[in-house]
Amino acid sequence: MTMLTRHAIRQVTFQTLFGLAVNPDAEVEPMIEQVLTGDPEVEREVEVPEEIVELVHNVQDYQDDADLQISRYLVEGWTLERLNLVDLEIMRIAIYEAQKGDTPAKVAVNEALNLASDFTDESSSKFINGVLSKVLTF
């Protein structure tokens, strides 16, 4: 398998976390395989990069902490359940990477905004930037 860039690893991680959130009975590695192959109907085994598996598990393990931090900066009356799942998963990755990983906060925010530009719209990007800027004060 070719080497994946850090951005590609984050993309696959995001898509995997999103898929797992939508399908909670799914398992991590088969979901990553599905993301990497791009077709859920085709069964083929691909080498699943350990760094993606590790990042997915780490973000999942840190999810409660990240969610608590995100919820502190939501407008009154808003809850995590009301948020767009895409936005929420992107923010969870950024918060984990900045607080528990080895990614500087500014880089984590920038990567989150790159993911947002790939998977959502401009208003979501502004929302993600606003929340992450408060959570990851730098």
Tell me the pLDDT tens digit for each residue of 37-54.
886 665 656 688 899 999
> Cα(65)–Cα(31) distance, rounded to whole angstroms?
24
Q: What Å distances lie between residue 47 and 30, 36, 53, CA to CA?
A: 11, 9, 11
Residue of 29 and 40 predicted with greater confidence: 29
Between the two ends of the chain, the Cα-to-Cα distance in Å is: 36
Residue of 43 and 85 predicted with greater confidence: 85
Structure tokens at 133: 């800027």
Going from N- to C-terminal start, the domains of the chain cover: 6-135
Structure tokens at 70: 């995100």
Residue 16 has pLDDT above 80, yes or no: yes
Residue 110 has pLDDT above 80, yes or no: yes
Which region, left, alpha or beta, applies to residue 55 given φ > 0 means left and ψ of -120 to 50 means alpha?
alpha
Give percent of the chain above pLDDT 70: 92
**Mean pLDDT (whole number) for 72-99:** 94
**Fold adopted by 6-135:** N-utilizing Substance Protein B Homolog; Chain A (1.10.940)
pTM of the model: 0.91
